[in-house]
Amino acid sequence: MSDNFSKNIRKKTFRAKEMLLETLGKADRTIDESFEENASNFNRQQKNFDRLQHELLNYIQCLKAVTQASRGYYDAVRETYDNDWTGAEHVKAITHSLELLWDEYAEKLTEHSLNPLNVYCSQFVDLKAKIAKRGRKLVDYDGARHAYQSLKNNSKKPEDAKLLKAEQDLESARQKYGSLNSALSEELPVLYDGRYAFLVNHLQTLFTAESSFHCDSVKLLTEMQNVVTPKIHLKDSALNANRVDEAANMKVADGDKIDVERSSSGATKPTLGEIRANSNENNPFSSDTDESPRTSNTPPAPAQVQNGVMPSAEEGDKAEQGAPIYPDLTTLRVLYKVRATHRYTAEDTDELSFEAGEVILVVPYDDPDEQDDGWLMGVKEATGQKGVFPANFTKPF
C-alpha cells in the first residue's frame, strides 16, 4: 500500500517537474496537430450536446408540470359542467382523452428523445477520461525522452546501466502513449462526423411526437368546441308553409276568411281593394247610390316581374305612392334569428338601422357573390325592412 502511494507521488512529482520545464521553455513538448484538432472538435461537440441534454430535460420537466396543471383544469371543467347540459358525457370523455394525450406526449419524449440522448452523451465521459490519460502518458513520454537524452549526452560508457534503464523506460512510455493516441485518433473523428446523423434522428423523433400530439389535440378541442356550442335550428320550408297556411286562414271581418291566391313561388296577400269590397258587401249601412270612381279606358301598365313572382296590387299601390316595399315575411326563407346587442345606424341605403334588443330574421343573399365577410342579410321582424347589417352587433338565439 505504501509502495503504491510513494510510486504515485513520484509520478506526480515527475510530471509536475516536466510540465514546468515545458512551460518555461526549457524542455520541448511533443505536438500532434491532428490530435489537437480532434480534441478541440470533441470539446465543442460535448459542450453543445451537454446543453441540448440539459435543455431537453428542462423541457420535459416543464411539460410534466403543464400536464399536471391541465389535469387539474380539466377536472375542474368536469365538476363545473352540469350533467344536464349539452353533451355533458361527451365533454367529460374528451377531457379525459386530452389528459391521456399529455401523459403520452411526455412519455414519448422521455423514452424516444431524452433516453437516447443520455446514452449518446455518456460517451463523452469515457472519451474525456481517455484524453486526460493520453495527456498524462504524453508527459511521461516527454519526460522519459528528455531523461534518456540527458543521460546519453552525459554518459561516457555506451552500455551504462542507467542509460539502458532510461532507454527501456522511454520505449515503454512510447508504447503506452502511442497506443492510446492511435485509439483516440480513430474514435474522435468518427464520433464527431456522426453528430449530424444523430441530431437529425433526434429532431425527427421529437418533432414527430410533438406534431402528433398537437394534431390529436386540435381534433379533440375542435370536437369539444362543437359539442359545447349551442346549435342554431334553421327554419325549413315546412315551417314557412305552415306560416302561409296560418296567414291564409286569418279571420278579417265577421269571421269570414279571405282566400289567398298563390303564385308558382308562394302565396300572395289579398289586395286592399278586395278587403274593402268584401266589407262593403256585408255592411248594411253602405249605400247603393254611392258613386264609384271612374276608371280610365287606358289599360294599366304591366307590372314588373321580380324573381318570377308578380307583385300584389297592394305592393303596386305602394310603389306608385313612393312608399318602400317590404318583403312578405310568410314567404321568406329564414335561416335563423338574431337579436341586436348594440344600436346601429345605417351608413348606406342598403343597410339596416336598429336598436339594441330588436329581432332580425337572417335570410340568404339574393346574390351570394355580394356577401361580405362579417355582414349578413336580414329582415327586421317588427317592420319587415330588409337590408344588410354587421353580424358583430347581434347574437343568435
The chain-wide mean pLDDT, for the chain, equals: 77
The reported pLDDT for the residue numbered 28 is 65
DSSP type of residue 351: B
At residue 328, the pLDDT reads 64
Distance, in Å, from the CA atom of 346 to the CA atom of 352, rounded to the nearest integer, reads: 5
Q: Which of 109, 117, 123, 112 is nearest to 60 (CA)?
A: 109
Partners of 337 in beta bridges: 361
For residue range 79-89, what is the model confidence (pLDDT) as tens digits?
A: 999 998 888 89
Instruction: Output the pLDDT for position 27.
Output: 61
Residues 6+ apart with CB under 8 A from 252: 258, 275, 278
Distance CA 146, CA 141 (A): 9
- Contacts with 238 (C-beta within 8 Å, 6 or more apart), sequence order: none
Q: Is the pLDDT of residue 345 over 80?
A: yes
CA–CA distances in Å: residue 40 to residues 142, 188, 190, 258: 22, 10, 14, 102
- Which range of 94-103, 257-266, 286-295 scores highest in mean pLDDT? It is 94-103
Of 235-239, 366-370, 373-377, which has the strongest mean pLDDT? 373-377
Q: What is the dihedral of CA 302, 308, 310, 315, to 10 degrees?
A: -110
CA-wise closest residue to 105 among 59, 50, 55, 148: 59
The three grid cell numbers given for residue 343, joined into one nine-digit string = 344600436
What value does the mean pLDDT take over residues 297-314? 45
List the domains of the chain with CATH numbers: 9-228 (1.20.1270.60)
Indicate the burial class of 197 (C-beta count within 10 angstroms; 0-12, 13-18, 19 or more). exposed
How high is the pLDDT of residue 154? 73
Going by DSSP bridges, is the β-strand pair 375-380/359-363 parallel, antiparallel, or unpaired? antiparallel
For residue 137, what is its C-alpha cell? 502518458
Name the least confident of 69-78, 84-93, 293-302. 293-302
pLDDT one-digit tens code per residue, 170-199: 888 889 989 999 999 999 999 999 999 999
Percent pLDDT > 70 in the chain is 66
Confidence of residue 43 (pLDDT cuts 50, 70, 90): very high
Do 378 and 396 form a contact (C-beta atoms < 8 A)?
Answer: no
Q: Is the pLDDT of residue 264 over 60?
A: no
Do residues 146 and 30 lie in contact, with contact meaning Cβ atoms separated by under 8 Å? no
Rounded to a whole number of angstroms, the CA Rg of the chain reads: 48
Given a cut of 60, whether residue 248 has pLDDT beyond it is: no
Greatest mean pLDDT among 21-30, 100-109, 326-335, 373-382 lies in 100-109
Range in 19-28, 182-191, 294-303 with the lowest mean pLDDT: 294-303
Task: State the Cα–Cα distance between residues 103 and 111, nearest whole angstrom.
Answer: 12
Q: 325 or 270, which is more confident?
A: 325
pLDDT 10s digits, 136-161: 888 888 888 887 777 777 766 666 77
